[in-house]
Amino acid sequence: MDLSESQKKNRDLLYYERYLAVQRDRARSLINQDVIEEHRRQPLGKQSDSLARLAFILSNGPHAGKYAIRVVEPFKAYRIISLSGQRGIAPRFIDDITHASPDEAYHAIFLRRIADLML
């Protein structure tokens, strides 16, 4: 049975959605206060296996809506933005909160991704 291009794309999207659903369930099982505290202390660099797995799952997914950090003032002020995922459409600021360091901003993104996952 030969599938049309449209049918193949639809099937690929279905499998991808199933994969993301499994990954979200797996991520939920990894979330606990110890992992969150570990990330707060050191958002980048060597991480425990649980945190590394969780961070990978949370950062995986479609480009549209991904969070990033915009430098407002070098070494002093950082804000979280959401990427549009479309060429020519600028990212948007998520809120009015300014973070004092990149690590603080990375942790805020981590917490935001966890909150999004729990919805």
Distance CA 56, CA 15 (A): 19
pLDDT at 99: 98
Q: Residues of the chain whose pLDDT is less than 50?
A: none
DSSP label of 119: -
Q: How much is the pLDDT for 107?
A: 97
Closest residue by Cα to residue 15 from 25, 5, 23: 23
pLDDT score for 119: 59
The answer to whether the beta carbons of residues 60 and 92 sit under 8 Å apart is: no
**With helix as H, strand as E and coil as C, how does 26-44 read?**
HHHHHCCHHHHHHHHHCCC
The tally of CA atoms less than 13 A away on the side-chain side of residue 84 is 7
Residues forming beta bridges with residue 92, ordered by sequence position: 82
Q: In this predicted structure, what is the pLDDT of residue 1?
A: 56
